Amino acid sequence: MIDTLIDLILFAMLVFTALAIVRINHLFAVVMLSGVFSLLSALLLVTLDAVDVAFTEAAVGAGISTVLMLGTIALTARTQKKSSRSGLVPFIVVTVTGAVLVYGTLDMPDFGDPNAPAQLHVAPEYMAGSIEDIDVPNVVTSILASYRGYDTLGETAVVFTAGIGVLMLLSGLGRRRREDEEEEEDV
């Protein structure tokens, strides 16, 4: 009962934060509210037993992503221009998409059902194997680094690639080389 109550309160706060982000035109406030949204979602993730994920979301969403967005609006603009388009068409699109998604959830097992298909395969093997094969108490770590090591290698490579992309776009490594070449041509 108390779980449901906490869930509903957190949800209400999340929805109001999201609606405020829709309404506000001042980008500084929007960025701060997106940090608030991340922090609230981290709280909700704790009630869903995903402590590792909540930890990451709090550090990444409320920390680094807010800093980067502030850096961006410092380099671009601080307010959003009032849009001349009407919000009606997007609203209809969003409502229809949402209705289709809700229709899709009707076949899903109940929230927290221990006999749901997601709970019956693979995961019990990992839970048991984490004791016998790996002997690591945090099952998330043993799956992340050992059972699904391939995935994590790929994801590290994605982070690496995104970092290289940002460096190419912003730090001017490419431009410096081009300017050097142009200078050589001038000489």
Partner 1 sequence: MHHHLILRVVTKMLVGTIILFAFYVQFHGDFSPGGGFQAGVIMAVAFIIYGIVFGLQKAKQVFPEWLVHKLVALGVLIYAATGVASLLLGYNFLDYGAFNPGHPIYGQHWGIFAVELGVGITVTGVMVAIYYAFAGRPPPMKDEDW
Partner 2 sequence: MINWDFIVGHLNYWLFIILMMTGLYIVVARGNLVKKIVGLNIFQTSVFMFYISIGKVTGGTAPIYPVNRQGDIEYDPTIIYSNPLPHVLILTAIVVGIATTSLALALIIRIREEYDTIEEEDILRIEREMSAQDNKEHGSAMGGRA
Per-residue binder mask for partner 1 (CB under 8 A), 102-141, x = binder:
-------------------------------xxxxxx-xx
Shortest gap between Cβ of 47 and partner 1 (angstroms)? 15
Interactions with partner 2, residue window 33-92 (CB under 8 A): 34, 37-38, 41, 44-45, 48-53, 56-57, 60-61, 64-65, 68-69, 71-73, 75-77, 80-81, 83-85, 87, 90-91
Q: Give the separation between CA 90 and CA 48, rounded to whole angstroms.
A: 32
Q: Are 128 and 143 in contact (CB under 8 A)?
A: no
CA distance 32 to 91: 25
Q: What's phi and psi for 111, nearest 5 deg?
A: -60, 125
| 8 Å CB contact between 65 and 38 | yes
Q: How far is CA 90 from CA 80, 97, 145, in A?
A: 18, 10, 42
Nearest distance from C-beta of residue 23 to partner 1, angstroms? 22
- Least distance from C-beta 185 to partner 2, angstroms? 24
Binding of residue 15 to partner 1 (CB under 8 A) = no
CA distance 59 to 53: 10
Closest C-alpha to 45, from 30, 57, 33? 57
Binding site for partner 1 (CB under 8 A): 51-52, 54-56, 59-60, 63-64, 67-68, 71-72, 74-76, 78, 133-138, 140-142, 144-146, 149-150, 152-153, 156-157, 159-160, 162-164, 166-167, 169-171
